[in-house]
Structures are given as C-alpha cells and as structure tokens.
Structure 1
C-alpha cells in the first residue's frame, strides 16, 4: 500500500518477492484501496510496470478492477474508479470497526452505471490520460531536480568538495580544515543551529477563526501537505494575520505526527497548528529547506521515541540541530546553481496543480456524459 501515492495514477515503487499470498494483478488493471484512510486519501493506481505476461501481487487491501471485453476499456475503468461519484459512494458504503473500515466488493457487483460506447470511452480516456501524462512528466522532472539538488548539497556542505579558487574539489585538493563542534570543517565556515538561519512559525488553532463571510482561506493541515486542498479541507477567515497565510513556494514542516518537509504549491491557505512555516530574511529558501531535510530523519526518530500517539519534536530540537554556513562568496556561488532549480521545481508544482484541477473538473463531466466527445 505504501507504494501507491495519493491521487497519482502511476505506481511509484515496487519490490521483487516470492508470491506468498495477496491480490494478483496484471498490466492495465486498476488497484483501488478498500480500507480507511487509504481510500479516502485517494490511493488508486493504474498498473503499467509489469513485463509482458508478468503477474504482480500486493496487499489484500486492494480491490483489483479491470475492463470487460466489448463493454469497457481498462483505462476507462481506472478513471471511473477515481470519479467523485463512485468514490463518494464507495466511502459511504464502508463498514467495520472504527479505524479498520473497508468497502465490500459487493458494491461493484450490485451497482449499475451508465457507460458510453467503446469508441467514446477511448476518446474520454485520451483527454484525461494526456493530462495525466503531462502531470507525470512534471513529477518525474521534479524528482530529478530534487535528486540533483540533494546531490549538490551533499557535495558542497557534507563532503566539502565545492570548487576552490582553482576550480578543484576543496577538501580532496588539500583545502584547509579547522576543528569545530561538527568536526573538521572548511576554514571560515560557521556552525549555526537551524533556528539561527531561519524562523519557524507555528500555525494557529484555526477553529478559532471561522469564516465571517463567503470568502475564506483553506486550512493547511498535515493531510493537505500530502493531497493538497480538497472540498473537504477546513476553512478559515481571510482576516488572519498575514504571517500565517501560506503562499506558493513556501517551505512547510510538519513537526507532529507524520514529520515531513515540503515546498507548498497548493495555492493560498491558512497555516494550521502542528505545522511550521519556515522563512528567512538572510538565507535563500533552498538553503534552509535542504538543511531541514538533512535533519529530518533525526527529527523523525525523536518523534517516534515519544510515548504519545502523536510523536513530535520541540523547539529545543531545532536549536540542537547544527548546520554549517559558508563564507558569503561560496554561498552566492552555489545559490546561482540551486536557486534556478528551486524556482523550476516550484513552477512545475504549480503547473501540476493547475493541470490536476483541469483534469478533476473534466472528469465527472466526461464520465457522466455532460461533456460528449467522439
């Protein structure tokens, strides 16, 4: 189940194992999560990762769907499974104990759905899959950008192999190293804490700020970090202090529950408690974003060690998390490389959001026949 990403057609990861049970599937099948909260979170994917004639298997918490010859195409079934109407009915039909509710396959056996002819299904799929292909291309580009940025960051700030005045790797070319609280570091570099290079603003208890009128800001909680703003997102009044308004390109850090660091590109929103908005007047966003990510595993281990259901870190952990600041000239040099990559990543994420909104607005109209194609 962890290999499926929320509201993403593409299967992100897989492992090779011997079959010992589970749901079997083949290419062009649809995997639909049947258990809470995975179904509500949008874990549904279209299988296209297998070799010809190869069979995959996975969790029993998937329902495996496929088209029927001469009635439905496989890809049309995928888009049917993520359509708002069917998803809503599936969620409402869930039964079982709290926290372990599931949809039953009987829902699909008993439900009647009006479907277009095969040629029209293919036309619908062409429109939606073209949008999904562009979304996936941007996702792939962003994954590459993240990998490049992380590699560069490590090369400069962990391995100390940034170019010296002669353009050679600093450390391996004999660059001068001095003792510090973090061991040997390049001469002139300063040891600082995370909260010395950036401000970590905790969000508000936004239930105290309900909308006073029709205008509102969607509330950004941990759930929104994963799946973006939805119709189910809470609403806050637009009059909250400006510093608690989140904009595209802001760096957010969930310090409680599921600890994550993300670059927000879901449009304007209101910062909820349990989230930090990270800003700095002195350092570029990529700099404090990468250093926060560098300490993320350490923070997650701290949170896991808490004897509470909502593991978390505290502000003193930000102070204890040490980082390195190079001389201004070195920072300016790497900034010329990193800043454009950060900007491109943000622009791609915004385009992904816009394309997703177009797809999601077309999906119910195309599936219901309100918009006809041929």
Structure 2
C-alpha cells in the first residue's frame, strides 16, 4: 500500500459511556446494512443503565459473525440528541477530526472491499468474529483535510439526490394508494357528473362476500380470474451459476434483487408476489409485493403477475397492498403462499369505466416512480465509482 495508507487504529479510540440515571431513553439497534434502526428488543427486566450512550459523530459496530454475514455492521451516528445502544456493540470516535473526517471514514466502511477484508480477518469457526486489534490494523488512505472534505461533499450531493428521489417516490406511492382507497374502499369515485359517487346518492347493493354494501354493478372476483400468472417461465440459478453469468439484468428473489446476470426471462411491467420465506407477510397479514419493470430474471421464490384487460398492474398492486392474506399462508417452519392459494384471493372489481379512469389517473405516477428509481440506480453507480476512487493515492493537486 502507498504511504498515505494508515491503520484505522491510529485515528480512533473506544468510548464507553453508560446510561447512568437513565438520562437517555431512545434505544437503537444496528443493521447489517450499516444503519441505525429503532430497536425492537424486549427490554422488560433489563438494566438500561448498563446500555451505552452514543453521541453525534461517534460510531457503533459489531465484530461478531462477520464471516457468516460477509459484512461488518458499522454506522455513524448523526443525530444531535444522544441515543443508547446495547453494551454488546463497541462504540468509537475519531481522536482528531482535523486529521480524519467522520463522514470520510464512514464512506470507507461503506465500500464492499472493506467488508471483504473484514471477512478475511474474521476468525472463530463458521460464524467468524473480527478481533478488535485486527479491525484497528486495517488501513485506509489518509488525504489532507481539504481533499477529504471534497470527497465527502461530492458523496453527499449524490446521497441527498437519492434521498430526495426516495421522498418523491414515497409521495407518489402514497397518492396512488389514497386514490385507490377513495375510489375502491370509500366508493367516492367520480360519477357520470364528475361528483363523488357514494356521497351523492350513488346506488349501493349488499355484498355477502364482503358483508357490506358496494356500488351497483361491482363484483368480487378471484385474483386468478383477473390476472395472468407467469410462474412457468421462472428459473432459479444457484450462486455458482450466477457467478458464471454476471451481467446487467436484475435477478429477483422473493423480496428484492439478489444479483445481476447476463440474460433475462421477462420484459415489461409486472407484479411480484412473494411465494415463501419468513417475510412473505407483515405484522398486519399483508403480502410482500413488488412493482417491477424492464428486463429481468426471476427465481422460484416469487410469483409473477400481469393484469388482464382494464385490470392493470397498478390496480393490483394497490389492491393487494392492504389485503390480509394470513388465512392462505401454509407451513410453519417455512411459510408459503402457493399459486393456487394466491389465485383464490378475492378482490372487489369496479366497472370498466371506473378502472379505465383509475388507470389514466395513476399510471403517470408510476411512470415517474420508474424514472426516479432508474435515476437512483445511476446515482448508486456514481457512488460506487466515487468510493472506488478513494483507493487511488493521488497527489494533493489532483481531484477525484
């Protein structure tokens, strides 16, 4: 390594401040994605005075099970008010922030190469823990404070743009869900005069399946009758097979993108409905679904649906998002929703006119969502490029 590479341990020190007097109540956990999260641990009967206090610009990490998880969880605390965290997590801080910026160090921890090196040093059986001394011995390039500030500034610009895009995506999704609820739950879709249907005397009839009144002409139909299930094209690939097929097309699993491969099975807009796994439903019994598009590969842990006629993917996504499916989950050790049970889900279907107007109203929002997510992908690539450039020991006159 070049002369600018220095051991992490030369720049950090452990901190151990306990929560004496219970002066701090905000309890956090640490995720494998290197973020602080609200703790869901059962703390009944726990001595909270023994928990550690973490302050702004301090780090928390976990050195346990690094080899098993292939990641070292570590996060930079950025809030003004302190929080507490389990005493099992080492907390450390930078000794002199005029030599090393906390944000710069966190960028280094974000790199996949850092996790690979941490995994290499991890010892102790299959799980593999990282010794504190080995962590401190890992090196990073130390530039001048001005260059670190320049690198961090560029990184923050990208991060802030991604955060803004995600806020816009959330707002668009919430708006689409609000429109769905207004039309298909409250029955206030526009009537022939453009006024809310139910509150303006729209005719209602009693529906035995739902045990409530619904608009005249509407009916309950099984998901299998209003959508096309395209599971027959799915094909799982082992990690070894994926390693031999590296490419640009997303490889989806039950919950998210697992990898990228050099070929695709599907091309278009689809709805993915998780088939098996511990998280196929949430605490409310709602299914794990994803709105996906473009060219991609899919394994056999998620069903894939397309709409029929005026029953669009956008409608199905919003309808299923808040549909309780707990009664169709089978299997205790490995929860599962098979294709037959999924197709039996009952959904309320409106008139063709209502569905056509709904599609016209919400489809532009989903086009924007796709555009923002595609932009996020490009921004993530820029982030990776910037992180990769951190390893280049350049002269102080050069810029990243």
TM-score by length of 1: 0.79
Residue 193 of structure 1 and its aligned partner are, at CA, apart by 1.4
Aligned residues of 1:253 and 1:276 also touching (Cα < 8 A): yes
Match of residue 346 from structure 1: 370
Larger Rg: 2
Counterparts in 2 of 1:336 and 1:31: CA distance versus 1, 3 Å: farther
1:324 to 348, 351, 355: 348
**Deviation per CA, 1:303-328, whole angstroms, max 9, x where unpaired?**
4x6222x2111123223311111111
- The whole-number CA distance in structure 1 between the counterparts of 2:28 and 2:275 is 21
Counterparts in 2 of 1:269 and 1:121: CA distance versus 1, 3 Å: same
Residue 47 of structure 1 and its aligned partner are, at CA, apart by 3.0
- The whole-number CA distance in structure 2 between the counterparts of 1:14 and 1:168 is 46
2:227 to 192, 198, 213: 198
Residue 363 of structure 1 and its aligned partner are, at CA, apart by 0.7
Q: Which aligned pairs between 1:83-122 and structure 2 lie closer than 5 A?
A: 83-96=111-124, 98=126, 101-122=128-149
What stretches of structure 2 of length at least 5 have no aligned partner?
1-26, 281-287
- The whole-number CA distance in structure 2 between the counterparts of 1:264 and 1:368 is 37
Q: Which aligned pairs between 1:254-293 and structure 2 lie closer than 5 A?
A: 254-257=274-277, 258-259=279-280, 260-264=288-292, 268-282=295-309, 283-293=311-321
1:74 to 91, 102, 105: 102
- The whole-number CA distance in structure 1 between the counterparts of 2:32 and 2:226 is 33
Match of residue 130 from structure 1: 157
SS of equivalent to 2:140: coil
What stretches of structure 1 of length at least 5 have no aligned partner?
none
Q: Which is worse superposed, 120-129 or 17-26?
A: 17-26
1:245 to 266, 270, 277: 266
Q: CA RMSD in A?
A: 3.6
Aligned residues of 1:221 and 1:272 also touching (Cα < 8 A): yes
- The whole-number CA distance in structure 1 between the counterparts of 2:313 and 2:71 is 29
Match of residue 383 from structure 2: 359
**Which aligned runs of 4 or more in structure 1 are off by greater than 6 angstroms?**
1-6, 211-215
- The whole-number CA distance in structure 1 between the counterparts of 2:215 and 2:77 is 49
Alignment of 1:176 with 2:203, yes or no, is yes
Residue 273 of structure 1 and its aligned partner are, at CA, apart by 1.0
Counterparts in 2 of 1:200 and 1:59: CA distance versus 1, 3 Å: farther
Residue 64 of structure 1 and its aligned partner are, at CA, apart by 4.1
2:332 to 290, 307, 316: 307
Counterparts in 2 of 1:311 and 1:121: CA distance versus 1, 3 Å: same
Residue 92 of structure 1 and its aligned partner are, at CA, apart by 2.9
- The whole-number CA distance in structure 2 between the counterparts of 1:55 and 1:2 is 10
Residue 346 of structure 1 and its aligned partner are, at CA, apart by 1.1
Alignment of 1:47 with 2:77, yes or no, is yes
**Deviation per CA, 1:139-180, whole angstroms, max 9, x where unpaired?**
111112222222221221122222333444322333221122
SS of equivalent to 1:196: helix
- The whole-number CA distance in structure 2 between the counterparts of 1:143 and 1:272 is 27
SS of equivalent to 1:113: strand
Aligned residues of 1:30 and 1:77 also touching (Cα < 8 A): no
- The whole-number CA distance in structure 1 between the counterparts of 2:243 and 2:168 is 41
- The whole-number CA distance in structure 2 between the counterparts of 1:370 and 1:273 is 47
Match of residue 399 from structure 2: 373
Match of residue 12 from structure 2: none
- The whole-number CA distance in structure 2 between the counterparts of 1:335 and 1:326 is 12
